[in-house]
Structure 1
């Protein structure tokens, strides 16, 4: 999408996700460009407080 202006977060995410990486691969499939397990764990800790909490009845399940 060269030259397109993204107006929402979803459009920006989709624009970046649909582009190929520097290795001409799907970014999710590229071993060099994909997130490592450590990076994912760090993001989970940083963003964990943003996740919605389950109601009390479902938390025990």
Structure 2
């Protein structure tokens, strides 16, 4: 990823262009950005990386055999 992505809005646009063939409506893009802002607690992608590292660690320690 050579793009300089600093905000959640830029991240949504980047992955939209990278992964989707059908354009998202502005309403959907706005919703996705707001969702990321709420989940990360910030619009700053660099700050949110620590959130993602914690989530990754939690997923690795999850016991998949737990009933």
- Please, what TM-score do these two structures have when normalized by structure 2? 0.27
TM superposition score normalised by structure 1: 0.29
Of structures 1 and 2, the one with the larger relative CO (CA 8 A, separation 6+) is 2
Decide which structure has greater helix share.
2
